[in-house]
Structure 1
Amino acid sequence: MPFLNLLVLLLMIPVQDSVKQKKEPQHPEVLVLHDSMIEHNYREIHFARLNGWKFSSEDDPEFSSPDYDDSGWYRIPIPPEEEGAIPDSLWKGFGWYRLKVKIDTAFSMSHTVLQSYGGVGAIEFYINDSLVLKRGNPAPLEKNEKFTGTPATIGNFYDFVPGETYQLAFRNSFHNHKLLGIFTGMPVKTDLGIHMYDRNNLDNDIREKNILTSIISLAAIILFMVTILHLLLYLKLREEKSNLYIFLITGALWLFSLSLLVEEFRIFEDYNLKVALQFLTGLLISFFIGFVPFVLHKILKVPMGKFWKFFVYFPVTIILLETFISVFISVPEIIMEVLLILIILASFTGGIIAMLKAKKRERKDLYLLAGSILGAPVIMILAISITFLFDSGSFFSFSLVTFLLLTILPVGLSLYQGKNFLQMHRNLDQMVQERTRELEEAYQNLEESHQQLKDAQGQLIQQEKLASLGQLTAGIAHEIKNPLNFVNNFSEVCLEMIDEAKEEIATIRKGHQNSNGSSETLKLLDDVNDLLSSVASNLKKIYEHGHRADGIVKSMLLHSRGGSGKMEEVHLNALVREYVNLAYHGMRAGKKPIDVDIEFDLDLNVGEVKLVGEDFSRVIVNLCNNAFDAMREKLSKTNFKPLLKVKTVREEELVKIKITDNGPGIPEENMDKILQPFFTTKKGTEGTGLGLSISHDIVKAHGGEIEIESVPQNGSTITIVLQTITRTADSLKNTDY
């Protein structure tokens, strides 16, 4: 059919390298065969292109004889391959053709082989009454006629002798040409497809046909892979319709390539099957061309006008019209060819419009589609120009053109879709990474909040514990303070009364001296005065120590006070000195007091530190009490002088408080347990095991750490490391703590 011929001309016909025929005299009685008639790089002569043929619709075996007189036959005025060569009034579905030829003395094709390639109908070809080629079974009656679907039939070899004359004759029948011919797209009565080849070039012809088969097979394999790939992608991701469209358009082209392989390189016993396959091939390629604008609009995700939505029906409609209307109406072939060329141009135009729309929307990687959609017509135009206009070319370029025409657009669509998938995958990866980072940040914030909540919870528990202990301490301190007030008050009153008594004694003694009283009375008055002085001295000591005890009780009350729990700027050195002393006096007032030398080494550069003073003071007291207990234990076993060293130091943005004792040290097996709640090495009910644990919790709440160093039998050093420094003490260097 014209449509199929137009689309696959480059695929199915080898590249021409022909030399134009020289014009022969009109209607020669004997046609001279010479080298100027040889066509193509395969060195062939197409008999249907020769002048001088005669035709008869009768049937007689004698028609093949060189002695038969055919002077009364119809002389065909033009080569038989041209349309209208034989009038419809003469063609009844059967006929004989005769032509007498003379071999030129310089003719180079002496050793030849006959081949039927293309053409229609059944044929028997004779040279000097010898049957050299037969295709099917030509017969005057349609019921006896038999077609074959083979694309090429190789006949006998024949040796022409230069200077000799030969009679060419062949029978041809094609009765049902109007019904079947419309599906073939060929001139059914005249395109006989009989070629004479130089035998030496036949192998080259077969080899190149095999190469072409391999090229189309390779293209079919690539198209099949692309088709299956996008089918699987669509089944995996149905919401992405682009894969479905690529599957449909590539699948149509893949079936088209298979049809070409089956049609041109497989032998059909049934000619009708071959005709049907040709018709199917035309439908597939027409669907492909009509579907191109629709697919490009969908893949590029740009709006599509109604014209392009229904454009796919145009090529298919033209095929159907060309097929069925031509049964009743003779449509000029040139009109159909022009119309089909316009349809192809419109298809590519629709694709270009889709890309221009996509470019306005700043779609990426359009060069892949642009190269595909523009590459196909460019390749086709160049191939047609080189092959038919300039009448030159090579089989290699033809094979390359064949391969590119079949694969360039599907591969371009697949690459574009694949790159979009990769970009989408990258975007998804980036989104996942960003989301993961956000989740990690949220998780980290949640962890920090959780840790802060745990710290706050621990601090609340610790505050509750300390509050309970503080309440007990406060109660005891208040109970002590009441009698202590009486002691202090009455000692002060007694001192005043003794002073008054001593004044009265002095007055009485003076009066006795003036009146010359007895010496015994004076001596008694002196003894009473001395006694009162001794009592006054004792009362002063009571008063002094009572005030000292009152200060201790006040410190205990201050220590037990709950406080606000807020961090405030505190002079660290002053706080350390005060509560070390408080711990010492508390120990001295206990059941087992010991004498301890305390050495302070306080760094004036420590300055102010943000602390919860009420809580942090308990840490100092607890650590000092533990040191006192350790040194008491060593004192009971050996003779040594207890020494407690308290040191503060500033190291860049860190403040360290070191409390060192020279006690027995901490056993190595207890180093990991020392800060655990309720762990104690004291016997019986002497300890609860909460002192260091509570101290550790308080220090952690302040953002610090407790470090423990110990040398067995040589003492321990507990270091409190704080990281929060608010102000140095440059202005406080002269302050005595």
Structure 2
Amino acid sequence: MYLKWFYIFGILLLAFNAQSQSTTPENEVYSIQDSLLQGSFMEVYLPDLIGWKFSPYDHPEYSSPDYDDSSWYTTTTPLREESAIPDSLWNGFGWFRLKVKMDSDELINSIIQNFGGTGAIEFYINDSLVFKKGNPSVNPEFQELKGFNNQLGDLYTFEKGENYQFAVKYSYHDYNFWNSFSFNRVRHDFGLSLISVKEINEFATFIKSHSGVNAAALVVLLMVMLLHFFLYRKSKIKDGNFWIFLITASIFIYSLAMNVDNFWSTSSFFWRAFLLGLTSLFSAVSIGLIPIVSHKVLEVKAGFFWKYFLHFILLSYLLDMVYRSTKYFEEQINLLLSLALVLAAIVGGITASIKAKKKKKKDIWLVAGSLITFPFLMLLGIVFIFFNIQHLLLLSLLYFFLFTIIPIGMSLYQGKKFLRMHSQLDAMVEERTSELEQAMKNLRQSHEDLKAAQTQLVQQEKLASLGQLTAGIAHEIKNPLNFVTNFSDVCLELVEEAKTELRVATKAQVPTGERNGIDTLLDNLQEILQTIETNLQKIYEHGNRADGIVKSMLLHSRGGSGKMELTDLNSVVKEYVNLAYHGMRASKNPIDVVLEFDLDIDIKEIPLVAEDFSRVILNLCNNAFDAMREKTGEPSYKPVLRVRTGKQNSTVLLSIGDNGRGIDPKIADHILQPFFTTKKGTDGTGLGLSLSNEIVQAHGGEIKVESTPGKGAKFIVVLPTSL
């Protein structure tokens, strides 16, 4: 509505100019001269001619050149003015007659054109029907309105210097209702003009250019609208993007509806009225959004008036419809009010720019410049019309920027703000990246330190295991060494006795008759030597045993070769369970434990790294001893360690179970994790079961845990029978 008013204002100026050059023709014949041609396409707008005869009645002879219309009402002002026909004569129907003389060279060959928004028309020249739109009738029921926007008629050839009788049959019932949809046309303005044929090609060129510029403007508006809708949905900068999308969508709908109205050749008068109403509504919305959108985009607080300016605009739009339908205001007053609201909207946008300037915001010139440029473009359009400037390129650019300058300015401002934020984010990302690199460096160092600590803890665990093993070995070595010591003493005594006997036997001079006594002595010596031999065998046996124990201890402490070899599982299990038991017995907190072995004799040799697997047995037994030690205070409690082996398909099972307190279900999933321990202080490193699990997995097996809280736990080692 408001954008159109600037062009209407220009047309009114042209009409005023044409009126000031017109004079009442002599002898009631109006001379059509080249000086009356106006507009971009050199046309004569017939309702602007003065001296039309009017009758509110209907008769077929009214189109005849011979009919006497001297008693009809004669207009003294152009028909586009409301006062041209008195209210007492206009009832929605009438005939208009005007006798003219064709004195124009340009209009010898003319095309008749009708502008949109008029009622039903029949146009006669010398009683010949040359143009018809709809069906004009004095009876509203028989009137038929057509909704064509700009309709071209047939070619008519005039003779220069000849007189012609123009007669127009025109009806526009329900004018007040239809005109409220912003047709912006006086009730008796039938909207016919004569256009020179040679201007039609220029008119067609203008229409094509207008279509191209309009399509370009719509594409730009659509791109801006979709861009900011996408940014509104995806970006964190939501507020400004939403408001730019809103005002761009409003201008887009306005421009689309206006151009559909201009180029859609519909004959439905209702749809013509609807499109014009939609155009006016979104024109009002577009103007009304300028202040609040400017404040939102520039991120400044809007005052009460600017915050609700859109409401004032919409109210004025509704009042405009009511006033137009009731003729409460003259069109000139309505025009001035519309211009005032447009300028007020621009002032609201400039006010937001000033507030943003005080807050030292950047790039506000993009918004302020587009707002200031907008009214200058509208003023330039009026100047083009007033001075009849027919520069197609300038008109096209003017139209294009008139619809796109404000959305483009605000979109560029938002884009610059986004780029600034992007630069700030880049700097922040670079800073965070540097911090993360330093943190990663620290993390790697911490990881290396942790690996060193873990290696140290593993070594400590080995040493702890070696300490327990040493205690068991010391206990085991003690007995064979006692045998060695005792039997060595006995042998020494026997050797001494044998020496004594030999000396006696040697010195004795025994007669031949006493030989029997010597034989007895020799028998005793033989017995002593036999005993010495037996004792030496025992010394050798137990010495070898002690040597084997020491070798096992050395292999355990050094870690062995790490190669799998076929090994007797039952033998290894029995040996290291006993070592663990004696180690526990030699510790500071020994307990009495009953060892129950149930070893499957069918299990032969399986691939094992014996020195590694021995640690598994020691760790499981030691954990079982610790678990049972906690329960020894209970009455009638007898610790029992049950060790079993058996076959299951292609695997062998080693089960080591105790009757201690069992494992809490809450921690059952964590006991095989490194550094997890329930022991207090320095009693445990949390690596025993973890290392045992790793050793078993290295053998291609797994450790399963079964526990009943309060009754004990069982660790089942599953091992493959082959490599």
Aligning the two structures, in what range does the TM-score lie when normalised by the shorter sequence?
0.5 to 0.7
Specify the SS of the correspondent of 2:124.
strand
Alignment of 1:437 with 2:434, yes or no, is: yes
What SS class does the counterpart of residue 220 from structure 1 fall into? helix
Partner SS for 1:172: strand
Offset at residue 185 of structure 1 (A): 4.3
Q: 2:19, 2:78 within 8 Å by CA — same for their partners in 1?
A: no
Secondary structure of residue in 2 paired with 1:55:
strand
The corresponding residue for 1:36 is 35
- Find the counterpart in structure 1 of residue 307 from structure 2: 309
> Is 2:402 the counterpart of 1:405?
yes
Give the match for residue 370 of structure 1: 368
Please state how far the C-alpha of 1:167 moved relative to its aligned partner.
Answer: 0.7
Distance (whole Å) between structure 2 residues aligned to residue 343 and residue 273 of structure 1: 28
Which whole-Å deviations, capped at 9, do the CAs of 1:504-538 have from their partners, x for residues lacking one? xxxxxxxxxxxxxxxxxxxxxxxxxxxxxxxxxxx
Match of 2:443 among 438, 446, 451: 446
1:233 positional shift: 2.1
Q: Deviations over 1:673-699 (max 9, x none)?
A: xxxxxxxxxxxxxxxxxxxxxxxxxxx
Q: String of CA shifts for 1:607-662, please: whole Å, max 9, x gaps.
A: xxxxxxxxxxxxxxxxxxxxxxxxxxxxxxxxxxxxxxxxxxxxxxxxxxxxxxxx
Deviations 1:62-86 (A, max 9, x none): 1111111111111112222222100
**Relative to 1, partners in 2 of residues 1:79 and 1:453: Cα closer, same or farther, differing over 3 Å?**
closer
- Is the contact made by 2:254 and 2:282 (CA closer than 8 Å) also made in structure 1? yes
Instruction: Indicate how the Cα distance of structure 1 residues 238 and 142 shifts in structure 2: closer, same or farther if over 3 A, else same.
Output: farther
Structure 1 pair 450/99, CA: closer, same or farther in 2 (3 Å)?
A: same
Question: What is the CA–CA distance in structure 2 between the aligned matches of 1:44 and 1:326, rounded to whole Å?
Answer: 28
Does the residue aligned with 1:371 lie in a helix, a strand or coil? helix
Aligned to 2:115: 117
Q: Secondary structure of 1:32's partner? A: strand
With over 3 angstroms needed to count, the CA separation of the structure-2 counterparts of 1:54 and 1:4, relative to structure 1, is farther
Instruction: Name the aligned partner's letter for residue 61 of structure 1.
Output: P
1:230-309 → structure 2 map (5 Å cutoff): 230-237=228-235, 240-309=238-307
Q: Structure 1: how far apart are the matches of 2:66 and 2:6?
A: 46
Which amino acid in 1 is paired with 2:5?
A: L
Match of residue 100 from structure 1:
99
Q: CA deviation at 1:351?
A: 1.1
Match of 1:379 among 377, 380, 385: 377
Where do 5+ consecutive residues of structure 1 fail to align?
Answer: 469-737
Structure 1 residues 214 and 348: CA distance shift in structure 2, 3 A: same
Equivalent position of 1:202 in the other structure: 200
**For 2:112, what is the secondary structure of its paired residue?**
strand
Match of 1:336 among 334, 337, 362: 334
1:35–1:108 Cα contact (<8 Å) kept = yes
Alpha-carbon spacing, 1:13–1:448, altered in 2? closer, same or farther (3 Å): farther
Kindly provide the CA deviation profile for residues 695-722 of structure 1, in whole angstroms up to 9, marking residues without a partner as x.
Answer: xxxxxxxxxxxxxxxxxxxxxxxxxxxx
- 1:81 matched residue in structure 2: 80
**Structure 2 equivalent of residue 530 of structure 1:** none
Residues 154-553 of structure 1 mapped to structure 2, 5 A cutoff: 154-237=152-235, 240-328=238-326, 330-388=328-386, 390-451=387-448
Distance 1:71 1:20 in 2: 23
Compute the TM-score of the two structures, normalised by the length of structure 2: 0.60
Query: CA offsets per residue over residues 182-235 of structure 1, 9 Å max, x none?
Result: 323433333211111111111211221221122112211211122122222222
- From 145, 148, 164, the equivalent of 1:147 is 145
Residue pair 1:376, 1:409 contacting (<8 A) in 2 also: yes
The equivalent of 1:137 in structure 2 is 135
Looking at structure 1, the residues matched to 174 and 238 of structure 2 have their Cα atoms a distance apart, in angstroms, of: 49
CA drift at 1:237? 3.6
Give the secondary-structure state (helix, strand or coil) at the position aligned to 2:28.
coil
Contact 2:183/2:273, CA 8 A, preserved across alignment: no
Amino acid in structure 1 at the alignment position of 2:53: K
Q: Distance in 2 between matches of 1:400 and 1:11?
A: 19
The 2-side partners of 1:8 and 1:251 are apart by: 23
1:554 is matched with none
Aligned residue type for 2:47: A
- Check whether the contact 1:10–1:402 (CA below 8 A) recurs between aligned residues: no
Gaps of 5+ in 2: 467-723
Which region of structure 1 is more displaced relative to structure 2, 306-315 or 239-248? 239-248
Q: Which of 328-337 and 260-269 deviates more?
A: 328-337
2:67 — aligned with what?
A: 68
Q: Tell me if the contact between 2:40 and 2:388 (Cα under 8 Å) persists in the aligned partners.
A: no
SS of residue in 2 equivalent to 1:414: helix
1:161 Cα offset (Å) = 0.8
**How far did 1:358 drift?**
1.5
Classify 1:225/1:9 alpha carbon distance in 2 versus 1 (closer, same or farther; 3 Å): farther
Give the direction of change, closer, same or farther, for the CA distance of 1:7–1:238 in structure 2 (3 Å limit): farther
Percent identity (aligned): 41
Partners of 2:377 and 2:192 in 1: CA distance: 31
TM alignment of 1:48-67, pairs within 5 A: 48-67=47-66
Q: Give the CA deviation at 1:26.
A: 5.4
Residues 234 and 244, structure 1, Cα contact 8 Å, conserved in 2 = yes
Label 1:47 to 1:326 Cα distance change in 2 as closer, same or farther (>3 A).
closer
| Number of equivalences | 467
Q: Within 2, Cα distance between the matches of 1:251 and 1:169?
A: 46
| Partners of 2:438 and 2:10 in 1: CA distance | 63
CA contact (8 A) 2:54 2:73 kept: yes
What secondary structure, in the 3-state scheme, does the structure 1 residue paired with 2:123 have? Answer: strand
- Residue range with higher mean Cα deviation, 71-80 or 415-424: 415-424
- The separation in 2 between residues aligned to 1:151 and 1:191, in whole angstroms, is 15
Counterpart Cα distance in 2 of 1:298 and 1:154: 47
Deviates more, 1:437-446 or 1:230-239: 230-239
Change (3 A) 1:247 1:236: same
The separation in 1 between residues aligned to 2:140 and 2:236, in whole angstroms, is 54
Amino acid of the structure 2 residue aligned with 1:91: W
Partners of 2:11 and 2:385 within 8 A in 1: no
Residues 20 and 36 in structure 1, CA contact (< 8 A), matched pair in contact too:
no
Task: Name the residue aligned to 1:586.
Answer: none
Cα distance in 1 for partners of 2:280, 2:170 equals: 27
Q: Which amino acid aligns with 1:191?
A: D
Output the CA distance in 2 between the equivalents of 1:153 and 1:167. Answer: 22
Matched AA of 2:250: A
| Mapped contact 1:369–1:412 kept (Cα < 8 A) | yes
Query: Over aligned residue pairs, what C-alpha RMSD do you find?
Result: 3.2
2:81–2:186 contact (8 Å) kept in structure 1: no
Partner of 1:708: none
**Cα gap change, 1:32/1:217 in structure 2, threshold over 3 Å: closer, same or farther?**
same
Q: Please say if residues 33 and 107 of structure 1, whose CA atoms lie closer than 8 Å, have aligned partners that are also in contact.
A: no
Distance 1:455 1:406 in 2: 72
Change (3 A) 1:465 1:173: closer
Aligned to 2:23: 24
Q: Name the amino acid aligned to 1:293.
A: P
Q: Does the aligned pair in 2 maintain the 1:315–1:340 contact within 8 Å?
A: no
1:271 to 1:11, Cα distance in 2 relative to 1, 3 A? farther
Larger mean Cα displacement after TM superposition, 434-443 or 27-36: 27-36
Rounded to whole Å, the distance in 1 between the matches of 2:461 and 2:324 is 105
Q: CA deviation at 1:280?
A: 1.5
